[in-house]
Amino acid sequence: MLLKKAGTPAKVAASIAGTRSRMNNLRLVLIAVTAATFFAACAGRSVTPVMPSAAVPAASGVAAAAKSSYKLLYSFKGSPDGASPLSGLVSVNGTLYGTTLNGSSNYCAQSCGSNGCYLGCGTVYTIDGSGAESVVYNFNGNFHNAGDGSWPFAGLTALHGLLYGTTAGSGAHGDGTVFRVSTSGNEKVLYSFSGGSDAQDAQASLIAVKGTLYGTSVYGGGSGCGGAGCGTVFSISRKGSEHVLYAFQGGNDGERVYAPLTYLNGKFYGATLQGGGTGCGGNGCGTIFELTPSGSENVIATFGTGTNGAFPNGLTAVNGVLYGTTEGGGSRSSGAFFSVTPSGNLQFLYSFKDIPDGNLPGATLLYHKGLFYGTTVGGGTSGNGTVFSISKTGTESVLYSFQGGSDGAAPQAPVTIVKSNLYSTTYKGGGTGCGGYGCGTVFRVKI
């Protein structure tokens, strides 16, 4: 994920510490548009994004073992249909909805330079099982409507027939928004974050509990962790009344919340990417926390050594136990699969092994009929990412390895299941647009 405050340790750099240099290049592709690019663009300044020197490696075909299960549904074009989907999909009455980080008909830069004008403010889109895609809403950023948002990293949450989400940029204060949008494209900003003691830069999907929405932010909650705050947990009503439930303090308490919350037995559980000690370069390897609805927080587990897993993602609750992945650490520095109980019993169950296995699992897992399903940004037979399954005891299988050409590359989103088919997105690939890297895809894998 992208960090927008200069001088703050980048999530990407931390999450792949100790991995192969090739994986560093791959992760750089994921953040090809830097924080400076995004927020200079939001302010109306002419910018050209910094791109890595080599494109995602292409391959001449799809892995033979996966031909029967994988299907490309759609390749994004940039403008006007969107680009760079980092989020997963939500199903509403059999139709899938998602967001793209970039693209759209509204450019969040006055001069597109050499990037092919794909740096739009982002979109909400819909796609059906046959691959028919259409844009539901184009975000405006600060160029057309100073109160609208830009750059939705997170996916959508369906509640009472409406879709809710967050943007990391723009809004009334430039610190992002919470919005709702109808399936017909009627959008409304419910709340604009203001930073400081408020939340700032929300990059995770919201969850709905008893009609109220809850989310996390990467920054905000005070002036710690380099000045921009260490991150927050917040609640917001469907009418837009927002309240910060908890502000992280950094250090042993944790900092930088990129992952969504999980609700279990009346409490919220989540992960901070950093904090929990001084490991992993001094910023800590991450924590698992518990939070009551009234805002009482408790760290239940810390990731103290990178070799056992570091930089945790979102959690999935199964029979009272929480399961998740780490982006780094493990025996091959390629990430790990773990379980943790609400009482804090943390167990590492599997270490990802890079090529031809996965590397850098970056999304919350889906649980279905005894197995977890997820994606890795890298690894696989060609190093361009995978879709995988894993059992509760740690038996893992790669379902599909992306080849980096027309089939997509660098999947960072969770999967959604509809009638025994997994649906998700890749951030890159699917063609030669968006500076030669491809603007991303929507795909399905039959299980």
On whether residue 158 sits in a domain, the answer given is: yes
Q: Output the pLDDT for position 134.
A: 96
Between 9 and 273, the more confident residue is: 273
Per mean pLDDT, which range of 126-135, 139-148, 292-301, 366-375 is the poorest?
139-148
Per mean pLDDT, which range of 109-118, 285-294, 436-445 is the poorest?
109-118
Rg (CA), the chain: 19
On whether residue 264 sits in a domain, the answer given is: yes
On whether residue 2 sits in a domain, the answer given is: no
Between 185 and 7, the more confident residue is: 185
Mean pLDDT of the chain: 84
Query: How many domains does one find in the chain?
Result: 1
Q: Output the pLDDT for position 301.
A: 97
* 324-342 pLDDT per residue, tens: 999 999 999 999 999 999 9
* CATH of residue 50: 2.120.10.30
Q: Output the pLDDT for position 189.
A: 96
On whether residue 110 sits in a domain, the answer given is: yes
Q: Output the pLDDT for position 110.
A: 42
Q: How far is CA 88 from the centre of its chain?
A: 8
On whether residue 212 sits in a domain, the answer given is: yes
Secondary structure string (H, E, C) spanning the chain:
CCCCCCCCCCHHHHHCCCCCHHHHHHHHHHCCCCHHHHHHHHCCCCCCCCCCCCCCCCCCCCCHHHCCCEEEEEECCECCCEECCCCCCEEECCEEEEEECECCCCECCCCCHHHCCCCECCEEEEECCCCCEEEEEECCHHHHCCCCEECCCCCCEEECCEEEEEECEECCCCECEEEEECCCCCEEEEEECCCCCCEECCCCCCEEECCEEEEEECEECCCCCCCCCCCEEEEECCCCCEEEEEECCCHHHCECCCCCCEEECCEEEEEECECCCCCHHHCCCCEEEEECCCCCEEEEEECCCHHHCEEECCCEEECCEEEEEEEECCCCCCCEEEEECCCCCEEEEEECCCCCCEEEECCCCEEECCEEEEEEEEECCCCCCEEEEEECCCCEEEEEECCCCCCCECCCCCCEEECCEEEEEECECCCCHHHHCCCCEEEEEEC
pLDDT of 4 > 80? The answer is no
Average pLDDT of the residues in 397-401: 97
Average pLDDT of the residues in 352-368: 96
Which pLDDT band holds residue 81 (cuts at 50, 70, 90)? Answer: confident
Model's pTM, two decimal places? 0.86
Which pLDDT band holds residue 306 (cuts at 50, 70, 90)? Answer: low
Q: Output the pLDDT for position 146.
A: 61
Domain membership of residue 282 as a residue range: 11-446
Q: Output the pLDDT for position 24.
A: 34
On whether residue 28 sits in a domain, the answer given is: yes
In the chain, the percentage of residues whose pLDDT exceeds 90 is: 72
pLDDT of 100 > 70? The answer is yes
In the chain, the percentage of residues whose pLDDT exceeds 70 is: 80
* Cis, bond preceding 356 (omega within 30 deg of 0): yes
Matching residue, tokens 């139709």: 95
Dihedrals phi, psi of 281, to nearest 5 degrees: 85, 5
Tokens for 439?
């603007």
Average pLDDT of the residues in 211-237: 97
Q: How far apart are CA 294 and CA 246, in angstroms?
A: 9
pLDDT of 1 > 70? The answer is no
- Residue 436, class by beta-carbon neighbours within 10 Å (0-12 exposed, 13-18 middle, 19+ buried)? middle
Q: Output the pLDDT for position 436.
A: 87
Average pLDDT of the residues in 54-67: 37
Q: Output the pLDDT for position 109.
A: 53
Between 83 and 16, the more confident residue is: 83
Q: Output the pLDDT for position 38.
A: 38
On whether residue 1 sits in a domain, the answer given is: no
Which pLDDT band holds residue 307 (cuts at 50, 70, 90)? Answer: confident
Q: Output the pLDDT for position 253.
A: 96
Q: Output the pLDDT for position 285.
A: 95
Average pLDDT of the residues in 136-156: 84
Pick from 199, 155, 207, 200: which is nearest to 414 by CA? 155
Q: Output the pLDDT for position 65.
A: 40
Q: Output the pLDDT for position 308.
A: 84
Q: Output the pLDDT for position 34.
A: 31
* 155-212 pLDDT per residue, tens: 999 999 999 999 999 999 999 999 999 999 999 999 999 999 999 999 999 999 999 9
Average pLDDT of the residues in 25-53: 34
pLDDT of 54 > 70? The answer is no
Average pLDDT of the residues in 248-252: 96
Q: Output the pLDDT for position 14.
A: 32
Which pLDDT band holds residue 67 (cuts at 50, 70, 90)? Answer: very low
Q: Output the pLDDT for position 377.
A: 97
On whether residue 387 sits in a domain, the answer given is: yes
